[in-house]
Chain A
Amino acid sequence: EAGVAQSPRYKIIEKRQSVAFWCNPISGHATLYWYQQILGQGPKLLIQFQNNGVVDDSQLPKDRFSAERLKGVDSTLKIQPAKLEDSAVYLCASSPIGAADNSPLHFGNGTRLTVT
């Protein structure tokens, strides 16, 4: 099966600019996650969708970050305006609906964002 697809792979922007990342999960996976991985740290969940509904966005900085999954398939994460501390790898992951708690998440290769 095809894996989780993310684009772009790399992005360099200046602070205060905006940027968007795209994710296409594994076909049939109803749950989609966006994680932020800052250099030297573990991934931190930003937002979790089940189909097109938000399950958890408690750690999403909503003043500048937004995410949508309008048709319950692919998703877009946006940052506007970007700050220097947003430099990180943004990981998308998916899992099947109704997955048992011991089932794995499938991760994409990530988008590495550098804010200058």
Chain B
Amino acid sequence: GNSVTQMEGPVTLSEEAFLTINCTYTATGYPSLFWYVQYPGEGLQLLLKATKADDKGSNKGFEATYRKETTSFHLEKGSVQVSDSAVYFCALRVFGNEKLTFGTGTRLTIIP
């Protein structure tokens, strides 16, 4: 079956620190990979995506590279801000099936 494993949280960093949130996946088909973010009191929003091996998704200073050889899609940001505090979800979608399979989420807190 399809599954996503995420780095367990919570993660607490100081402002301007470097961020990595690990994500690995298992898929029966050829997946597209996504990072969704959930800010306090809001719904899930797409942060970035990658649809094939070696693609790099990027948005708001965040990046993630689709690594087929390691089945990974780690989220990185060079300098985090307080406003990045949220819960981050890694997810996959396999070709031919529209549903998303999510990881358990990683809560990120950035302190000034």
Contacts and interface: CB of A to CB of B under 8 A. Distances in A.
A4 B44 CA distance: 11
B39 to A, nearest CB: 11
Contacts of A31: 98
Interface residues of B, number: 28
Contact of A109 (B42, B49, B91, B94): B42
Nearest to A40: B104
B95 A42 contact: no
Contacts, number: 60
Given A42-B4, A42-B89, A101-B32, A48 B99 contact: yes
The dominant DSSP class at the A interface is: loop
A21 interface: no
Interface residues of A, number: 25
Given A33-B99, A41-B105, A107-B44, A102 B32 contact: yes
Given A31-B98, A93-B44, 13 more contacts: A40-B104, A42-B103, A43-B44, A48-B99, A95-B98, A101-B32, A101-B97, A102-B51, A102-B93, A104-B49, A105-B46, A105-B100, A107-B44
16 contacts: A40-B105, A41-B105, A42-B6, A45-B99, A45-B100, A45-B101, A56-B99, A93-B44, A95-B98, A101-B94, A101-B95, A102-B32, A102-B93, A105-B46, A105-B100, A109-B43
